Amino acid sequence: MHAEIQTYERQGFGASLPLRGPFGLLIVDFVNGFADAQVFGGGNIAEAIANTVPLLGAARERGWVIAHSRIVFADDDSDHNIFSMKVPGMLSLKERAPNSAIVPQLSPHAGELVVRKTVPSAFFGTPLAAWLAQRGVQTLLVAGSVTSGCVRASVVDAMSYGFRPLVVSDCVGDRALGPHESSLFDMEQKYAAVMRREAALSAIAACDE
């Protein structure tokens, strides 16, 4: 347990976030480039991808709303921005670039939204919030990479738009474990529920009973 937890508790952080259906699943940037430790990956990302395969299967079986995101910059770099100034390699992620493609084991099915973005959040400047709202989503499970970057940014925006984020902790990964653990702690204290996959699915099943 973090030594600082008493401060958070004393100040009223970390309250439970009741889950409420309908449920949706957002898979953030599980693309080839983030699966490759020689490109943008490393850490526990490969393990998180493997853990997300049965989560995606469960979401499909239950008929949940499902969205994916990927980073896609224009072929001529005309949408070069502050994010790509900080991480110039992001400009290599183009529409037809293999590193920008969603990993084959999580390939989207017909009817699942694929959001293209040029910033960390899957919500900023995209139709994702409206698409989820139109389908009545209340609780949004979040998987993806990286925990401290695009996942965290998407979770904060999901909360800001009025969705109840549920971060599936063994289905998110980061290239370094320190930022991963710190971000899970931070999100659980301020923005989201955080559970491992099996615990999350069990809690959701209890909601449906």
The residues annotated as belonging to the active site are: 150
195: left (phi over 0), alpha (psi -120 to 50) or beta: beta
- HSE-CB at 29 with a 13 A cutoff on CA atoms is 30
CA 209/CA 201 separation, integer angstroms: 13
Question: Are residues 174 and 44 in contact, defined by beta-carbon separation less than 8 angstroms?
Answer: yes
Contacts of 209 (CB under 8 A, 6+ apart): none
From residue 11, give the alpha-carbon distance in Å to each of 7, 15, 192.
6, 11, 17
CA 158/CA 138 separation, integer angstroms: 10
Residue 35: which of 105, 87, 86 has the closest Cα? 105
Work out the number of other CB atoms within 10 angstroms of the CB of residue 117: 23
